[in-house]
Structure 1
Amino acid sequence: MGKKDKKVISKKEETKKDAVKKKNSGFNILPFILPTLALVLAYPSYHVYQHIVTVPEVPQLDLDYWWGPNDTRSNQNKEIRPFRVVFGDGMLQDLRMRFDSYRAETKKVKSLQDAAWTYGVHSEAFAQFFSNWIFQYKPEERVGFLNQFNHFKTNIQGLDIHFLHVKPKVKEGVKVYPLLLLHGWPSSVREFYEAIPLLTNIREGYDFVFEVIVPSLPGFVYSQAPVRPGLSPTQISIVMRNLMKRLGFTKYYIQGGDFGHSIGSGIATLFPNEVLGYHTNLPAHFDNKAYVAWALGAVWKKIVENVQCPLKDGVEFFLEEFGYLHLQSTKPDTIGIALQDSPPGLAAYIIDRVMIFTDANNKNVEDGGLSKYYDHTKLLDNIMLYWASGCITTSIRLYKESVANVEFEQTVTKIPTIVPTWILRLKNELVSHPEFILKWKYTNLIGSTTLDYGGHFAALELPEDYAADVFKAVKSFVQFKNKQNAL
């Protein structure tokens, strides 16, 4: 190798050494970027984590907040007054006139062929349902049926609250436990009529029966609606607790579904020393942690197998079937005016929700499942109660109140419920969380029943299964308490 070549190599080596030296002597920013980026991401992540996992303290609540007109506070009537359902002659005459007007309408639009209920209530199915309402439903007879149980009203926090109170007739030695039954929307006290006799009569294998209290939620049917905003599910929990207190019950059991689930859960959370046990047919925990776990189920199959449906199916179902929720959560009074103006419109709106929530597959059947799941008279009783009381607008305001007060509602949702709890899990329920999620909320979830049938309105659709499971749950609650007392 010549001198010239050696010089070239030497220069190359010097160039390399200079580059390395320059690199080593320069400022390397990479070690500073990564920690800084980690800190930037950690701060909001920590706050998100804290928001999800932090258990808030029980909020300060005004247990006597006045929801009625201010000028009634000074002369509140706290008496428990008998009440009877009445379908007045004037109301019935007006109803028939509206029926005739609808029947005479020549521009009624027929459903698309082969569409079933995918576009909403099918015109032919509704025509049959409407025909039964006109020609087969006997309002005078149904009033007698609805009044078979004792109805009452009493004023709680400024609102006249309507309720059924059914006492059992039992032999000496049989225990009687008070049971508060809570409905949701678009339901009413009518949902429990077939179940009440089953709950108030002795059952083989049990030494107790129930004394049943079934209130209409504020703004539903014959319970007065508030005159100002803010009566969210948790606030209704206080009203229902005060109703039980008015009736003399300091210890009792609760059963609820739909909004009744949220309200019953609220009572159990806020007043754990008064609730002996809580039974629900809506196995759901409406907290951010539960939503995160459900979303993660799209990634981890183990979670998916324990949740009712994968993320994709759940989102698709929500987008297709929960438009009503958005409407009622934003403009309840607007849709309320439209529905209260038309009996057929009110009926179509309610039965569409009832049938889809009973079984989502009903949308693929031309009659929407009306001939499979319910006697038409059951559904018409409920619709008549809504129509006669003019409550559709005030009932759907509960959705608006739930959203408008979501931060307050979430606070109560995050507080663990120590009351013994039992879950009835039905196949077609709208939301069904696995037990490990439910135990985040219900720390004493002592048992559950899973059926491979049934939908959202358990007491209405399956009164026998529903009543049997309430008995089963309460028996377990009593045993649980006895074990605790023995420790």
Structure 2
Amino acid sequence: MSRPSSDVQAFTAHATDAELDELRARLAAARLPEAETVRHAEPGPGRWAQGVPLADLTEVVHYWRTEYDWRPFEDRLNRIGQFRTTVEGLGIHFLHRRSARADATPLLMTHGWPDSVARFTDVVEELADPKDPDAPAFHVVTPSLPGFGYSDRPVTTGWGTEKIAAAWVELMGRLGYGTFLAHGGDWGGNITTVLGGRFPAQVLGIHTTFAEGPPGLSTEGLSATERAWAEETRDFWHRRAAYAKQQATRPQTIGYSLVDSPVGLLAWILDKFAEWSDTKDSPFEAISIDSILDDVTLYWLTRTGASAARIYYESHNALDPDLRVDVPSAITAYPRDVEKCPHPWAQERYRRIVRWSEPEIGGHFAALEVPELFVEDLRQGLTAVLAANR
């Protein structure tokens, strides 16, 4: 194991009362549009056909202004352990929860958009110090992506997934982890793929909920379910990915609204929690309103709506088509995720798939939606990865 570096500094999150009062004042002064013209009395996806319904947003805004309390989430971040270090001139924030177990393995967990380290706060403790003494334990490191949360906002271009992956290797080395496991979903899954492909000497293996095969593969030979996955993914990118195209081409333009208006920020993020979660109607069927507001408030207080959007400008469709991952890989496809890669396609990039999992429930934000299932599936995947290294 490498020696830890003194370049890592402890960090404490604390929003001032004035910042929280200003947020409530802005919420009270919000100007809302008229209701959507597509009306559905019954709960279901049709209610969200034009985006977040006015009635739902009004209710969440009222709760955010009058009842939501930021302090418990802030305290939870501080209890887990927060730190910052500078890599390539950019300040990087991360959570670091060392396990008490002597046999624990370092585990790097990377979030995506529109989430943050909030994606993993419900599962860090159980992964680090499991209640079951026979379960594997991990030293958990969860960085905030550049431009997200308490990480610095890049002032130049260049912070794409390849550079982020290299920065994560540097970060883990500074913590004394010369080798480690890696997990990620969404952009975190993309970065985890780069980690496994570019840094096999440091990465023991990976687990991802966002496998991505090389482009241009044929559907010939796929099962009926796999063909349906491919069609769903094609439909998603053709008909439901305007947010990604906006952020990949004009992040600065949408960024003004995301940084200036808490209601605009909430609607932009809530729309994705609703569409990408395993629910019939509202995301709050699976994720508490407080958990979603923890995430949104983190974006608001750190003024990172624009800078987080720029990861699309930096890396949209940028995964090297020739990149191959030869370290052991575990892949999970949750049923309501927005992109699910057929197994034969995944095998073209991930050469050593040691576990393939298709849970019966869960969506894009599985660690928040079904945390117990997520932890158990992650454990099984990483156990298979470690066994393949012996």
> Shared fold by TM > 0.5?
yes
Match in the other structure for 1:378: 291
Q: Does 1:307 align with 2:226?
A: yes
Q: CA deviation at 1:184?
A: 0.3
Q: CA deviation at 1:308?
A: 5.7
Write the deviation string for residues 155-211 of structure 1: whole angstroms up to 9, x where unpaired: 1110110000101223xxx51110000000011001101111110123547363111
CA contact (8 A) 2:324 2:350 kept: yes
Structure 2 gaps of 5+ residues are 41-45
Distance in structure 2 (CA, Å) of the matches to 1:451 and 1:420: 20
Write the deviation string for residues 436-459 of structure 1: whole angstroms up to 9, x where unpaired: 211111111111111121111121
Distance in structure 2 (CA, Å) of the matches to 1:175 and 1:308: 42
Q: Does 1:180 align with 2:93?
A: no
Q: CA deviation at 1:248?
A: 1.5
Q: Report the aligned-residue RMSD.
A: 2.0
Write the deviation string for residues 425-483 of structure 1: whole angstroms up to 9, x where unpaired: 1101111122221111111111111112111112111211111122112221222222x
Q: CA deviation at 1:402?
A: 1.2
Match in the other structure for 2:76: 145
Match in the other structure for 1:225: 153
Match in the other structure for 2:306: 393
Q: CA deviation at 1:357?
A: 1.3
- Give the greater-gyration-radius structure (CA): 1
Give the counterpart of 2:20 among 48, 73, 92. 92
Match in the other structure for 1:198: 126
CA contact (8 A) 2:236 2:338 kept: no
Give the counterpart of 2:242 among 323, 328, 334. 323
CA 1:127–1:203 in 2, change beyond 3 Å: closer, same or farther? same
Q: Does 1:460 align with 2:373?
A: no
TM-score by length of 1: 0.74
Count of matched residue positions in the alignment of Structure 1 and Structure 2: 380
Q: CA deviation at 1:371?
A: 3.4
CA contact (8 A) 2:161 2:190 kept: yes
Q: CA deviation at 1:283?
A: 3.0
CA contact (8 A) 2:77 2:95 kept: no
Letter in 2 for 1:382: D
Q: Does 1:128 align with 2:59?
A: yes
Q: Does 1:292 align with 2:205?
A: no
Distance in structure 2 (CA, Å) of the matches to 1:479 and 1:98: 53
Letter in 1 for 2:249: T
CA contact (8 A) 1:308 1:432 kept: no
TM-score by length of 2: 0.92
CA contact (8 A) 2:255 2:305 kept: yes
Give the counterpart of 1:427 among 330, 335, 338. 335
CA contact (8 A) 1:308 1:433 kept: no
Distance in structure 2 (CA, Å) of the matches to 1:350 and 1:312: 25
Write the deviation string for residues 196-237 of structure 1: whole angstroms up to 9, x where unpaired: 111012354736311100000111111112221121111111
Q: Does 1:117 align with 2:14?
A: no
CA contact (8 A) 1:304 1:310 kept: no
Letter in 2 for 1:341: D
Distance in structure 2 (CA, Å) of the matches to 1:323 and 1:476: 38
Match in the other structure for 1:259: 187
* Map 1:227-242 → 2, pairs under 5 A: 227-242=155-170
When you count helix as a share of all residues, which structure comes out higher? 1
Match in the other structure for 1:335: 254
Distance in structure 1 (CA, Å) of the matches to 2:71 and 2:309: 28
Q: CA deviation at 1:313?
A: 4.8
Distance in structure 2 (CA, Å) of the matches to 1:464 and 1:248: 29
Other structure's SS at 2:47 match: coil
CA 1:138–1:234 in 2, change beyond 3 Å: closer, same or farther? same
Letter in 1 for 2:269: I
Letter in 2 for 1:321: R
Match in the other structure for 2:98: 167
